[in-house]
Amino acid sequence: MTFKRVFIIVLDGFGVGALPDAKDYGDEGANTLLHVALAAGGLSLPNFESLGLGNLGDFKGLAKRDDCRSSFGRMAEKSKGKDSISGHWEIVGLRLDKPFPVYPRGFPSELLEEFKVRTGREALGNVAASGTEIIDRLGEAHMKTGQPIVYTSVDSVFQIAAHVDVIPLPELYDICRAAREMLCGEHAVGRVIARPFKGAPGRFRRTTDRRDFSLPPMGDTLLDKAKAAGLPVVGIGKIEDLFAGRGLTEAVHTAGNTDGMARTLDAAKRITHGIIFTNLVDFDMLYGHRNDAVGYYEALVEFDNWLPRMMGAMRPGDLLFITGDHGTDPGFSGTDHTREYVPLLVYGPGIKGGVNLGTRESFSDLGATVAEALGIKIGRGTSFLKIL
C-alpha cells in the first residue's frame, strides 16, 4: 500500500506505566493512566477502547479488546531524561545519551548575574517550584519591582514568569531569547519557557501565550529529511518550539487542546501529503503538573469524543499515530514528569487492526515506521510498517 500522509498526535504527558529504570528518576510506581482511572472511579473512553488502549494494562473501565480498530503497543524511551524535548526528538530519530542539566536547588549566582546584564532586569525566585504556586507567592512582588520570576523544576528548564501588564509579551519573549543565548555549554538547558500571567494578587492565572525556546536538534530528524524531500511538514501546538523551528514548512501555535484538535482537522482538510505533527499540551500543563487527575480524565474524554471526527477525516493512504512523550502522573508524588512507557496506537483506512506491536525498545520505532511509509530514512529505530 502506498502512503501519502501521516498524522502524529502526541498527548503530552500520557504515560501507561513506569519504565524499568524509573527508580533512577524517583518514579518507581508511576502510572499516569492507571492513577487517572482510579481517581475517576473508572474510565469511559469508548473510542480509545476500540483502538486497543485497554490492551496496554489493567485500567479500570477500559476493556481489553480482540477486535481493535487499530494496532496497539507501548514504547520505551531510550534517551536519558523524561521531558518533552527528549521524547519528541527520540520519536523523530534523535537520542540523548546524556541528559540535559537540571538545577533542583536553583541556578548558579553567576548565571543570574549574567541574566541581569543581558536583560537589564534582576530576577526574583531562582528556585524549583510549581508554576502556579510561584506566581501566587511572588507575583505581587514582581508587579511592584518589575523583576521577572525565574524558576525551574526537576526538568531541564529555565522558566520566566511575568505579568503581561508589567512585562509585555514581546519583551518577555526577548528576555527568553537572551536567556536562551546565555544558557549554553555546561548550562545548556533543554528549554527556556516564557510563562506570562495576568490578573490581580490572589487571582493570578497563566495565559495561553506560553512559548518554549529549545535547543536546536543536534542532528537531522525525520522532519528535516521529510522537508528536504519536498514534503509538507506541519507542526501544530508547541512542535515548532520543541525543534527550534527546524524541519517544518508550516507552524501553527494553539491555545490548548481544543484548539489543537481543531487545527489538526483543518490541516487534514487542506494538506494532501506529508506529515502533520500535533502536540496537545493541556494533559501535561493544566492537569498532570497540577495533580488534577479528574481534569486529566475530562481532557481524555474530550479527545475520545473528538477521535471519530479525526478518523473520519482520514483517506486511503493515511496513517494516524497516537502516543505520548513521557508521563505526568497526577496521582504520583510531586508535580513533575514521570519516567513511563507511552502508548502506541496506529490507525489507517485500509490497514488491518488488532496487531499487537508489543513493547518497542525506542520511541524512534515510530519515526522509522513513518519514514518507511513516506519513502525516506532516519537511520535510527526499527520500522514495524510491514506488520501493520
For the cut 90, the answer to whether the pLDDT of residue 333 exceeds it is no
CATH class of 5-98+215-387: alpha beta
Residue 7: phi and psi, rounded to 5, are -110, 130
| β-strand partners of 327 | 338
- The model's confidence at residue 130, banded by pLDDT at 50, 70 and 90, is confident
Q: Which pLDDT does position 280 carry in this prediction?
A: 98
Q: What is the mean pLDDT of the chain?
A: 96
Per-residue pLDDT tens over the stretch 234-260 = 999 999 999 999 999 999 999 999 999
- The more confidently predicted of residues 350 and 68 is 68
Buried b (16+ CB within 10 A) or exposed e, 356-388: ebeebebbbbbbbbbbbbbeeebebbebbbeeb
E-strand stretches of the chain: 5-11, 71-75, 124-128, 149-152, 157-163, 191-198, 205-206, 211-214, 233-236, 250-252, 274-280, 318-324, 342-347, 356-360
Domain ranges in the chain are 5-98+215-387, 109-214
Residue entry with cell 525565574:
150
| β-strand partners of 212 | 193
Query: CA-CA distances (angstroms) from residue 221 to 218, 284, 296, 320?
Result: 9, 24, 31, 19
Query: CA-CA distances (angstroms) from residue 244 to 112, 121, 248, 347?
Result: 24, 25, 10, 29
HSE value, Cβ hemisphere, 13 Å, CA-based, for 139: 22
Per-residue pLDDT tens over the stretch 261-317 = 999 999 999 999 999 999 999 999 999 999 999 999 999 999 999 999 999 999 999
CATH homologous superfamily for the domain 109-214:
Phosphopentomutase (3.30.70.1250)
Q: What is the pTM of this model?
A: 0.92
- The model's confidence at residue 201, banded by pLDDT at 50, 70 and 90, is very high
